[in-house]
Amino acid sequence: MKIIDKINSRISEKRPFFSFEFFPPKTDGGVHNLYNRLERMAKLEPTFIDFTWGAGGSTSGLSLELSRVVQQYFGVDVMMHLTCTQMPLDKIQETLTQCQEFGIQNILALRGDPPQGGGEWKPCEGGIAYGSDLVKYMRSQFGDYFGIGVAGYPEGHEQSSDKDECIRFLKLKVDNGADFIVTQLFYDVEEFFNFKERCLSAGITVPILPGILPIQNYSSFKKFSDFLKIKVPDGITSELENIRTDDEAVQKYGIKLCAKMCQELLNRGVPGLHFYTLNLEKSVTAVLKNIGLIDESVSSRVLPWRPATVDGRRAEEEDVRPIFWSNRPKSYLARTMTWDNFPNGRWGLSSSPAFGRWRDHYLSRQAAGASARLEKLKKSLGEPKTFDDVSQVFINFCDGKIDQLPWCEFPVQAETSKIDNDLHRINSMGYLTINSQPQVNGADSTDPYVGWGGAGGYVYQKAYVEFFSSPEKLEVIFKKLDKFPSISFRAVNKEGKIYSNDKKRTESVNAVTWGVFPGKEIIQPTVVDSESFMIWKDEAFKLWLDEWASFYPVGSQANDLIQQIHDNFYLVNIVENDYISGDLFRLFDD
Amino acid sequence: MKIIDKINSRISEKRPFFSFEFFPPKTDGGVHNLYNRLERMAKLEPTFIDFTWGAGGSTSGLSLELSRVVQQYFGVDVMMHLTCTQMPLDKIQETLTQCQEFGIQNILALRGDPPQGGGEWKPCEGGIAYGSDLVKYMRSQFGDYFGIGVAGYPEGHEQSSDKDECIRFLKLKVDNGADFIVTQLFYDVEEFFNFKERCLSAGITVPILPGILPIQNYSSFKKFSDFLKIKVPDGITSELENIRTDDEAVQKYGIKLCAKMCQELLNRGVPGLHFYTLNLEKSVTAVLKNIGLIDESVSSRVLPWRPATVDGRRAEEEDVRPIFWSNRPKSYLARTMTWDNFPNGRWGLSSSPAFGRWRDHYLSRQAAGASARLEKLKKSLGEPKTFDDVSQVFINFCDGKIDQLPWCEFPVQAETSKIDNDLHRINSMGYLTINSQPQVNGADSTDPYVGWGGAGGYVYQKAYVEFFSSPEKLEVIFKKLDKFPSISFRAVNKEGKIYSNDKKRTESVNAVTWGVFPGKEIIQPTVVDSESFMIWKDEAFKLWLDEWASFYPVGSQANDLIQQIHDNFYLVNIVENDYISGDLFRLFDD
- Mean pLDDT of the A125-142 span: 91
Residue with the bigger pLDDT between A542 and B298: it is A542
| Residue of chain B whose alpha carbon sits nearest to that of A528 | B519
On the question of pLDDT at A533 being above 50, the answer is yes
* Residue B361 pLDDT: 45
> Which residue in chain B has the smallest CA separation from A502?
B519
Using CB atoms, pick whichever of A509, A517, A519 lies closest to residue B506: A519
A117 pLDDT tier (thresholds 50, 70, 90): low
In sequence order, the 6+-apart residues with CB closer than 8 A to the CB of B440 are B450, B459, B460, B461, B579
- Cα–Cα distance list, A514 to A451, A517, B37, B523, B534 (Å): 11, 10, 41, 11, 29
Classified as helix, coil or strand, B587 is helix
CB-based contacts of B309, cutoff 8 Å, min separation 6: B1, B71, B72, B74, B75, B76, B77, B103, B315
**A19 DSSP assignment:** E
Q: What pLDDT, on a 0 to 100 scale, did the predictor assign at position B340?
A: 52
pLDDT at A20: 97
Provide, rounded to the nearest whole percent, the portion of chain A with pLDDT above 90.
Answer: 58
Task: Please state the φ and ψ torsions of residue B350, each to the nearest 5 degrees.
Answer: -80, 0
pLDDT for A506 equals 73
The per-residue b/e assignment along A239-261, b for 16 or more CB within 10 angstroms, e otherwise, is bbeeeeeeeeebbebbbbbbbeb
Strand A458-461, strand A510-516: pairing: antiparallel
Contact A519 B508 (CB under 8 A): yes
Nearest C-alpha in A relative to B517: A577
pLDDT of residue B363: 52
**Which DSSP state fits A5?**
H
| Secondary structure tally for chain A: helices H, strands E | 20, 18
Query: What average pLDDT does the segment B321-328 reach?
Result: 81
pLDDT of residue A199: 96
- A134 has pLDDT over 50: yes
Q: How far apart are CA B242 and CA B192, in angstroms?
A: 27
> What residue ranges in A153-204 does DSSP mark as E strands?
180-185
Which residue from A minimizes the CA distance to B507?
A519
Q: Residue A341 and residue A314: Cα distance in Å, rounded?
A: 7
Domain positions in chain B? 3-203, 321-340+385-588
Q: Measure the CA–CA gap between A467 and A485, rounded to whole angstroms.
A: 20
Q: What are phi and psi of B398, to 5 degrees?
A: -75, -15
pLDDT digits (tens, 9 = 90+) for B44-76: 889 999 999 876 556 788 899 899 888 888 888
What are the DSSP E strand ranges found in A68-119?
Answer: 78-83, 106-110
Let me know: does A394 contact A427? Beta carbons within 8 Å: yes
CA–CA separation, B274 and B293 (whole Å): 13
If DSSP codes are grouped into helix, strand and coil, which group holds residue B486? coil
Name which of A482-486, B34-38, B227-231, B298-302 the model is least confident about. Answer: B298-302
For residue B190, what pLDDT is reported?
95
Confidence (pLDDT) at B517: 95
If phi > 0 it is left, if psi is from -120 to 50 it is alpha, else beta; for residue A177 that is left
Which H or E element spans position A64?
helix A60-73
Query: Residues of A with CB below 8 A from B575's CB?
Result: 519
User: What number is the average pLDDT over the span B260-289?
Assistant: 94
- Residue A556: Cβ within 10 Å count: 13
Residue A270 confidence (pLDDT) above 50: yes
Nearest neighbour of A522 by CB, restricted to B504, B522, B580: B522
A7 CA to centre of own chain: 20
Pairwise CA distance, residues B427 & B392, whole Å:
8
pLDDT at B230: 87
Among the partner residues A510, A518, A521, nearest to B488 by beta-carbon distance: A518
The answer to whether A67 and A100 are in contact (CB under 8 A) is no
Per-residue pLDDT at A234 exceeds 70? yes
The per-residue pLDDT of chain B, averaged, comes to 87
Q: What is the CA radius of gyration of chain A?
A: 26
With CB atoms and an 8 Å threshold, state whether B518 touches A486.
yes
Measured between CA atoms, the residue of chain B closest to residue A461 is B516
Q: Is B577 close to A518, i.e. CB distance below 8 A?
A: yes
Give the B-side interface with A, CB within 8 Å: 343-344, 346, 348-349, 441-442, 456, 458, 460, 485-486, 488, 502, 504-506, 508-511, 514, 516-522, 524, 527, 575, 577-580
User: In angstroms, rounded to a whole number, what is the distance separating the alpha carbons of residues A450 and A469?
Assistant: 28
Beta-carbon-side half-sphere exposure of residue A419 (alpha carbons within 13 Å): 23
Whether A10 contacts A272, CB under 8 Å = yes
DSSP A383-445: --SSHHHHHHHHHHHHTTSS--BTTBSSPPPGGGGGGHHHHHHHHHTT-EEEEEE--EEEEET
Mean pLDDT, residues B420-433 taken together: 95
Calpha distance B265→B268 (Å, rounded): 5
DSSP, collapsed to helix, strand or coil, labels residue A17 as strand
Which pLDDT score, from 0 to 100, does residue A367 have? 66
pLDDT in tens, A507-517: 788 999 999 99
CB-nearest partner of B520 from A486, A510, A579: A510
3 state SS of B252: helix
Our CA angle for B256, B261, B267, nearest 5°, is 125
* pLDDT for res B349: 38
CA distance B394 to chain A (A): 28
pLDDT, one tens digit per residue, over B480-514 is: 999 999 999 999 999 999 999 877 777 788 999 99
Catalytic residue (choose from B21, B466, B539, B576): B21
Q: What distance in Å separates the CA atoms of residue A266 and residue A212, rounded to the nearest whole number? A: 12
- Point out the least confidently predicted range of A313-317, B82-86, B348-352, B372-376: B348-352
Task: Give the percent of chain A with pLDDT over 70.
Answer: 90
B296 catalytic per annotation: no
User: Cα A62–A67–A70 angle (5° rounding)?
Assistant: 120
Tell me how far apart the terminal alpha carbons of chain A are, to the nearest angstrom: 54
Residues of A in contact with B343 (CB under 8 A): 343-344
Mean pLDDT within B203-209 = 97
Residues of chain B with C-beta less than 8 angstroms from the C-beta of A348: 344, 521
B437 CB-near residues (< 8 Å, 6+ apart)? B323, B326, B415, B416, B461, B463, B464, B512, B513
Report the amino acid identity of residue A553.
P
The sign of the CA dihedral A285, A291, A293, A295 is positive
Q: Is B511 helix (H, G, I), strand (E, B) or coil?
A: strand
Cβ-defined contact of B509 to A521 (cutoff 8 Å): yes
More confident residue, B423 or B157: B423
Q: How far is B488 from chain A (nearest CA, A)?
A: 7
Q: Say yes or no to pLDDT of B345 above 50.
A: no
Yes or no, beta carbons of B510 and A520 under 8 Å apart: yes
Nearest to B300 by CA among B447, B412, B519: B447
Nearest CA in chain A to B443: A580
Residues from chain A contacting residue B13 (CB–CB below 8 Å):
none
**Rounded to 5°, angle at Cα B354 from B353 and B357:** 140
Residue B351 has pLDDT above 50, yes or no: no
Residue B342's pLDDT is 47
Inform me whether the pLDDT recorded for B343 exceeds 50.
no
Look at B522 and A511 and tell me if their CB atoms are within 8 Å.
yes
User: How many A-B residue pairs are in contact by the CB < 8 A criterion?
Assistant: 96
Residue A28: predicted pLDDT: 79
Quote the CA–CA distance of A311 and A147 in Å, as a whole number: 14
Counting Cβ atoms within 10 Å, is residue B250 exposed (0-12), middle (13-18) or buried (19+)? buried
Q: Which residues of B touch A578 (CB under 8 A)?
A: 456, 518
Q: Which residues contact A464 (CB under 8 A, 6 or more apart)?
A: A323, A435, A436, A437, A512, A528, A573, A574, A575, A576, A584
Asked if A485 and B348 come within 8 Å (Cβ–Cβ), the reply is no
Q: Amino acid identity of A45?
A: E
Distance from CA of A441 to the nearest CA of B (A): 10
Structure confidence at residue A487 as a pLDDT band (50, 70, 90): very high
pLDDT in tens, B390-408: 999 999 998 889 988 999 9
Other CB atoms within 10 A of residue B453 CB: 22
Question: Does domain A3-203 fall into CATH 3.20.20.220?
Answer: yes
**pLDDT reported for residue A194:** 95
Instruction: Report the candidate in B473, B403, B406 with the shortest Cα–Cα distance to residue B434.
Output: B406
**For the whole model, what pTM was predicted?**
0.80
Q: How far apart are CA A401 and CA A404, in angstroms?
A: 9
Contact (Cβ atoms closer than 8 angstroms) between residue A213 and residue A164? no
Of A96-105, A150-159, A231-240, B458-467, the one with minimum mean pLDDT is A150-159
Alpha-carbon separation of residue B316 from A212, A352, A513, B341, B356 (angstroms): 60, 21, 25, 10, 21
- Paired with A110 in beta bridges are A83
Nearest Cα residue in chain B from A348:
B344
pLDDT at B346: 41
Pairing outcome for strands A570-576 and A440-444: unpaired
Distance set, CA A55 to CA A21, A26, A117, A487, B287 (Å): 15, 12, 11, 58, 90
Cβ of B442 within 8 Å of Cβ of A580? The answer is: yes
Rounded to 5 degrees, φ, ψ at B485 are: -60, -20
Selected residue with higher pLDDT from A330 and B419: B419
Contact A518 B349 (CB under 8 A): no
**How large is the average pLDDT for residues B119-123?**
75
Nearest Cα to Cα of residue B322 among B542, B525, B488? B525
**A359 or A495: whose pLDDT is higher?**
A495
Residue A527 burial (C-beta neighbours within 10 Å; 0-12, 13-18, 19+): buried
CA atoms within 13 A on the CB side of B436: 29
Q: For A54-92, what is each residue's pLDDT tens digit?
A: 765 567 888 998 998 898 888 889 999 999 888 889 999
- Which residues of A have a catalytic role annotated? 21
Contacts of A501 in chain B (CB under 8 A): none
Q: Distance (Å) from the C-alpha of residue B480 to the closest C-alpha of chain A?
A: 18
Mean pLDDT of the residues in chain A: 87
- pLDDT tens digits along B222-269: 888 888 888 899 999 999 999 988 888 999 999 999 999 999 999 999
Angle at the Cα of A344 (from A338 to A350), degrees rounded to 5? Answer: 40
Contacts of A354 (CB under 8 A, 6+ apart): none
